[in-house]
Amino acid sequence: MLSFIATALFSGALYLLLTAGSGSILRFWSSQELFVAALVALAVGFASRNYFSRNRQRAVLNPLRWLRGIAYVLGPFFLEMAKANIDVACRVITGRIRPGIVRVKSGMKTDMGTLLLANSITLTPGTLTVGIDEESNDLFVHMINVPEGLEARESIEARELFGLFDCPARVRRIAE
């Protein structure tokens, strides 16, 4: 039931976002669109309640987590991404690379946290998630420039991949 409510709310909100500007109820919507939004929310919520938010159903409904997620994407994540792009730009021009695949301890317990961390790693400095160890949630990360001495270590902490902020701790607060 909880997952049905979460899925219906999410799909209804997305439909209303995409049809904003169609009429004058609440300044933005027409009555037909509001009716169809309710129908879409019910249908999608019933059809896909087992896929969206499979475990930890309460966490999806917490609006504080959504706000934290938006703040994380707009703030630290965007700055890390800009830094990563300047780094990649230099490497495209100079062609100086030293690639390798290392093992990174993620420390995440849920699927959602692992997904968010893997996506963050893929879009930030010189790293690209290649694979995952299903049992321990460890990530295998391809680095475009392995620092000297790092290749000898068995595994490294996720914190060491990010230069400016402690992104794994923020991801943990959003998704766990």
Partner 1 sequence: MILNILIWTALAIGLFFNTLGIVGILRFPDVYTRLHADTKATTFGSIFTSLAVILYAAATYFQTLDGQYATLALHAAVAVVVLAITNATAAHAIARAAHRRGHKPVQAVVDRLEEHNQP
Cα 75 to Cα 38, 60, 133, 165, 174, distances in angstroms:
34, 21, 30, 10, 14
CB atoms within 10 A of CB 35: 10
102 binds partner 1 per the rule CB under 8 A = yes
Q: Helix, strand or coil for residue 124? A: coil
75 binds partner 1 per the rule CB under 8 A = no
Write down the least CB distance from residue 126 to partner 1, Å: 7
β 156-157/127-133 pair status: unpaired
Distance CA 101, CA 137 (A): 16
The candidate with the shortest Cα–Cα distance to 61, out of 2, 111, 117, 14, is 2
With contacts defined by CB under 8 A, name the span among 3-11, 39-47, 98-106, 168-176 that binds partner 1.
98-106
Q: Which of 122, 163, 173, 176 binds partner 1 (CB under 8 A)?
A: 122
Whether the Cβ atoms of residue 123 and residue 78 lie closer than 8 Å to each other: no
Q: CB-wise, 58 or 153, nearer to partner 1?
A: 153
Q: CB-wise, 2 or 97, nearer to partner 1?
A: 97
Q: CB-wise, 1 or 93, nearer to partner 1?
A: 93
Distance CA 53, CA 8 (A): 12
With contacts defined by CB under 8 A, name the span among 2-10, 52-60, 142-150, 161-169 that binds partner 1.
142-150
42 binds partner 1 per the rule CB under 8 A = no
Name the residues that contact partner 1, by CB under 8 A. Answer: 17-18, 20-21, 28, 81-82, 84-85, 88-89, 91-93, 95, 97-103, 118-119, 122-123, 126, 128-131, 133, 140, 142, 144, 146, 151, 155
